[in-house]
Amino acid sequence: MTQHALMGPEIHIERAEGAYLYGKNDRKILDAISSWWVITHGHCHPKIANAVKAQADKLDQVIFAGFTHEPAERLTEKLLRFTDPLLEFVFYSDSGSTAVEAALKMAIGYHTHTGNPRTKIVALEGGYHGDTFGAMSAGARGVFNKLYEPYLFETTHLPFPAPGKEAKTLQVFKDLLKKEGNNVAALILEPLVLGADGMKIYSPETLKSLHDLCKEYGVLLIADEVMTGFGRTGTKFACEQAGIVPDIMCLSKGLTGGFLPMGATMCSRDIYKAFYKEDRAKTFFHSTSFTGNPLSCAAAVANLDLWDTEPVQQNINDITKAHARARGWFEARPDVAGVRTIGTIFALDIPDSTSGYLSSLGPVLYDFYLEHDVLLRPIGNSVYILPPYCVTQADLDLIYDTLWRSLDFIRDEGQQQAA
């Protein structure tokens, strides 16, 4: 995601603590996007760091096929308690993309092994599920993957249920299901927020209706909570707001509090059972070398402990309230559109003739923010804030103020060019 021919030198970071990154000469940068949406409690949280240090002295890595270990067992126990009881099984991997790949394989295998093979995957227009080939296939087609399009499997994309356009999305899905519902294996979606598409938000009611249609036609719902999971949208998982439980749920990023790479694909008993046969050919054939890595598991256990022992939900609620207040200020500006918030996520668009990921505004704004020692990484002409939960009100005020000044800067530049 870095065009080296155009970008300046990378910023060298030496250490991190809480909401801050520290570079050379003790330069302090406020991490307003949680280092690509992974850090939840704050950088280098001592309880997670200590758990990983303790684990490092005991067991570093062991094959996780036919073998098991304490951190994985403890994590599984805790994760099953942290998520809905219908999600009874978990498959560990090492990133969001691998969690999605495993989910797609589970969905396809489920239908085949239960005697009704289905081939079609349905997804949301604008969706992003990672950069491996299965994940790219499920994701939106665009500048990110245009080059690889001939190699991607065909996916049907439903129109994005933008506010006011939900009925269209549901109708397209209904029509598809009526026509070829018995060939649709799964609907994969990012619940409530399309992150990489510029933090586009849709309603819990629509998510619920999509879920209900899936149930009616025996289509598995894969909720990709890689970004939304672990509190980003205000609740532990975005699906909770729609009162639904997906058949398969993908987790990563916040699973270890962002400390170490890890992915998890959770599924219902029915899906597990489809592979649980005295027939080797029906094994769930998927492996990643570092699946169930003990250090990652220890970090994830410590993360879940923090949810039990620290006021994580209170911090999330405080950020949610602060964003809601800031929303009012930004909505009053005539030079922005689509000011939106959900939980700890705040986003707005700056109308621009070159909207989309390649908008020329993105790099200009990115440089502006870094000059002010705030890490914000616009997606095209959309700017979003997604801070770690340890962020203080003073930190948030600094982020809003920097965003406000960047809008003034863009407005004044535009006026100068027009003059």
Ligand X SMILES: Cc1ncc(COP(=O)(O)O)c(C=O)c1O
* Minimum distance of ligand X from residue 97's CB (angstroms): 3
d(CA 267, CA 85): 10
* Minimum distance of ligand X from residue 125's CB (angstroms): 15
CA distances from 36 to 199, 243, 253, 375 (A): 13, 27, 9, 10
Closer to ligand X by Cβ: residue 124 or 304 = 124
Residue spans of beta strands (DSSP E) within 41-102: 89-93
* Minimum distance of ligand X from residue 106's CB (angstroms): 16
Closer to ligand X by Cβ: residue 181 or 229 = 229
Which residue, among 266, 202, 183, 275, has the nearest Cα to 229 in the 3D structure? Answer: 266
Helix-then-strand count for the chain, H and E:
13, 16
What the block records as the tokens of 66 is: 């036919």
Closer to ligand X by Cβ: residue 97 or 359 = 97
* Minimum distance of ligand X from residue 250's CB (angstroms): 7
Residue with tokens 């960047």: 406
For the chain, the farthest-separated pair of C-alpha atoms sits apart, in whole angstroms, at 76
Closer to ligand X by Cβ: residue 347 or 410 = 347
Q: What residues have CB less than 8 Å from 202, skipping those under 6 apart?
A: 160, 161, 162, 163, 166, 192, 193, 194
* Minimum distance of ligand X from residue 390's CB (angstroms): 21
* Minimum distance of ligand X from residue 332's CB (angstroms): 31
Closer to ligand X by Cβ: residue 100 or 298 = 100
CB 20 within 8 A of CB 28: yes
* Minimum distance of ligand X from residue 145's CB (angstroms): 13
Which residue, among 324, 355, 350, 325, has the nearest Cα to 336 in the 3D structure? Answer: 350
Closer to ligand X by Cβ: residue 204 or 261 = 261
CB 114 within 8 A of CB 274: yes
d(CA 303, CA 298): 9
* Minimum distance of ligand X from residue 200's CB (angstroms): 12
> Which residue number is nearest to ligand X in terms of Cβ?
96
Closer to ligand X by Cβ: residue 177 or 227 = 227
Per-residue DSSP letter, 408 = H
CB 375 within 8 A of CB 10: no
Closer to ligand X by Cβ: residue 113 or 129 = 129
What does the binding site for ligand X look like in residue numbers (CB under 6 A)?
95-97, 100, 128-130, 190, 195-196, 224, 226-227, 252
Closer to ligand X by Cβ: residue 70 or 240 = 240
* Dihedral (CA of 108, 102, 35, 395) sign: positive
* Minimum distance of ligand X from residue 38's CB (angstroms): 8
* Minimum distance of ligand X from residue 53's CB (angstroms): 24
d(CA 390, CA 368): 24
CB 261 within 8 A of CB 270: no
3-state secondary structure of 375: strand
Per-residue DSSP letter, 28 = E
Closer to ligand X by Cβ: residue 256 or 268 = 256
d(CA 61, CA 63): 7
| SS3 letters across 9-21 | CCCCEEEEEECEE
